[in-house]
Amino acid sequence: MKQSDRKAAFDKLKSHYYAHRGLFDDNGGAPENTIPAFKRAVEAGFGVELDVQLTKDKRVVIAHDYSLHRLCGEDKLIKDLLYGELSGYKILNSGEAVPLFSDALEIIGGKVPLIVEIKAEDEYKDVCELTSRILSTYPGLYCVESFSPYVVGWYKKKHPEVICGQLSDDYIYFNYLKSKFKNWALTNMIFNAVNKPDFIAYNYQFKDKKCLGFWKKILKCGTAAWTIKSQEELDAASEMFDVIIFDSFIPKEGKEHGLRTRITRIENMD
């Protein structure tokens, strides 16, 4: 795909705000990354951001955490459970279980754009292959992203037709990894030199990191901000980032159909 074609494909994704893990309400029967949360986002006209990973029997499921501790109160890893076992655990006492990726795609059904974050703490090839196989028949607009540069590299090589983004954060500030070099390398996204992602999704808290501006200029790529927590942050982020991923509030503009503030302003000028 030519650079101009990739930019045009990414531009289509800029038309919506994206509900982080669905338009969830952890106290109202629609917890994060569940079917009710995705239904709410679609009904409100917002794009959907969600996370995928694998169970022990290689089923692609939607969950952010590798462990069930935070949402289900169980010290068990999703990768150690068969899907049949996993589906027996309920999220935040809601009656909702960790859903299959395929079931969520049926609900979303191409009605709104989709951002798929691929979780790959260790092995990445299986989750990439199985996720891409499911998405190969999906009729809607979507892109993929990952914190793992190996996932981004895999997609850029195996499926160059798919818009793919590099997620990142300030690993140095949070000291995520034991290795100082790895923290530095991932914070500054040095793999971008090889992978050349179509966009960079960065923690909005660290929007002023020099590496973000550097790669945006060098790669001429798009940008996404995560996770916007208020209207004030959204207003500021819209001037700097192409794509907005939000939770914890309902954006004022785009509440009914999800259109970006910037798009609305342009239309009003015509």
Residue numbers annotated as active site: 20, 64
**How far is Cα 97 from Cα 88, in angstroms, rounded to an integer?**
7
Letter string b/e over residues 191-219, b meaning 16 or more CB atoms within 10 A of that residue's CB: bbeebbbbbbbbbbebbebebbeebbeeb
Contact assessment for residue 164 and residue 198, using Cβ atoms and an 8 Å cutoff: yes
Helix/strand/coil for 244 = strand
φ, ψ for residue 26 (rounded to 5)?
Answer: -65, -20
In the beta sheet, which residues pair with residue 164?
144
| Residue at token pair 């150690």 | 80
Helix/strand/coil for 222 = strand
